[in-house]
Structure 1
Amino acid sequence: MQRYFYATPNDLLPALDHIDSELQLAYVLMGLFDDEAQTTYANGSMLPTLAESLSVGSAISSPGYLVTERSMPIRTREVQQNDGSKKYAVDQLLNPNSIVFQHGGFYSTEILLPGRVATVSDTPAAMKIQRVFSTILAKSFTRVKAYWVGQEALALLQQGTRLTVGADSSSEFDLKLN
């Protein structure tokens, strides 16, 4: 289950505040890390990557956060590296009561990459979080084809900003109003 959206930080902050007022959540940076320590945020408006320009030109490579109920412990898993070292993964594999939140954002002033909320799990906890995110995004954003678009992102689209899944993608694949 997933929902894709285009949003600026100004579009997302009120939605995240609304979500965080309904649920007590933890946002944990996903990825492979050198140790088991986790970078956790108590609400979505605290995510440091939210207001930064993305350093990657593809939506799939943008920062992701594992979102769980705050009381839920996050489990990491060891991943053996080719050089014999170990890294620790924070992802949904051992955390079924979670969703993934990727906020997307600006790659440049001319390119806005999409975000998504998704889960591979059908546990009641994961479905509840996914439902709250999806419902609030749908109420706050405008549907344009397969995407939900925040008001500022929609204005940028109307002004000619590229809303695209990849900076190197042909403009024929950009989101268009018609």
Structure 2
Amino acid sequence: MRGHALRFYATCKDLCDALDDVSSRIELKYIQAGMHDHYPDEFLDHRQVKSFGVAITGDQVLEPSFLIVRLEERVQPRIVPQRRGGTLIAIDQSENPRSVVFRPGGEYGDGGVIVAGELSTVSDDQASIELWKQISKDLKRLWKKIKAYYVSPHALTVLRQGGRLTVGVKRPKEYDLREEP
């Protein structure tokens, strides 16, 4: 497994605009990844997802992530027995190899901070790789590359106005993304 990842900084508006573009060609659905007490809701439109493109925790690795699959795909949960009894439902790529993982990141707090997001797959399944390529192609086309990240237009404005583009608000500012002069 080689994996593919596209790292980015984007505002909610820019994410929605880019995914609208993708959705005009491919019917997709979104489901929150992770461990759950019950099967999570599936969304046919990214705009239906609560807090989409808004960073809740301020730390990229703690932000919600979603599996994206083509509309006709059935998302398979993985039942995980717990040591103290009961079970949890895992939604991840291990049972859904035709999916991609989307962690939107987004605006944190008053809007002067953008937390990094990522579109990735660790699957070797050709359907997953093609889906990753199709979505990442639009993001790359619409956004500017700065170092290892793609930056959406509104996130670039935040950066140029002195805001932070960061993987975590508690990390020192010297690790934030900066535009080279």
State the TM-score, normalized to the length of structure 2: 0.93
Query: In the alignment, is the contact (CA less than 8 A) between 2:12 and 2:107 conserved in 1?
Result: no
- Any runs of at least 4 consecutive aligned residues in structure 1 with deviations exceeding 6 A, and if so which? none
* 1:7-22 correspondence to structure 2 within 5 Å: 7-22=10-25
The 2-side partners of 1:45 and 1:131 are apart by: 22
AA in 2 matched with 1:176: R
1:133-152 alignment, distance < 5 Å: 133-152=135-154
Percentage of pairs with the same residue: 32
- Residue in 2 aligned with 1:160? 162
Distance 2:27 2:128 in 1: 13
SS at match of 1:60: helix
Q: How does 1:1-178 map to 2 (within 5 A)?
A: 1-35=4-38, 37-50=39-52, 53-109=54-110, 110-178=112-180
Q: 1:114 and 1:83 mapped to 2: Cα distance? A: 35
Q: Distance in 2 between matches of 1:133 and 1:63?
A: 19
- C-alpha distance in 1, partners of 2:23/2:47? 9
Q: What letter is aligned with 2:92?
A: D
Q: What amino acid sits opposite 1:145 in the alignment?
A: K
Distance 2:172 2:83 in 1: 35
Q: Which is further off, 23-32 or 79-88?
A: 79-88
In the TM superposition, what whole-angstrom CA distance separates every residue of 1:72-101 from its partner, at most 9, and x where no partner exists? 111111112232221010111100000001
Q: What SS does the aligned partner of 2:67 have?
A: strand
Gaps of 5+ in 2: none
How many angstroms apart in 1 are the aligned matches of 2:74 and 2:171?
39
Aligned mates of 1:54, 1:44 — CA distance in 2? 15
- Give the distance between the partners of 1:44 and 1:169, measured in 2 at CA: 29
Q: What is the number of residues matched between the two proteins?
A: 176
Partners of 2:24 and 2:46 in 1: CA distance = 11
TM, length-normalised to structure 1: 0.94
Cα deviations by residue, 1:54-85 (Å, 9 ceiling, x for unpaired)? 32121011111101111111111111223222
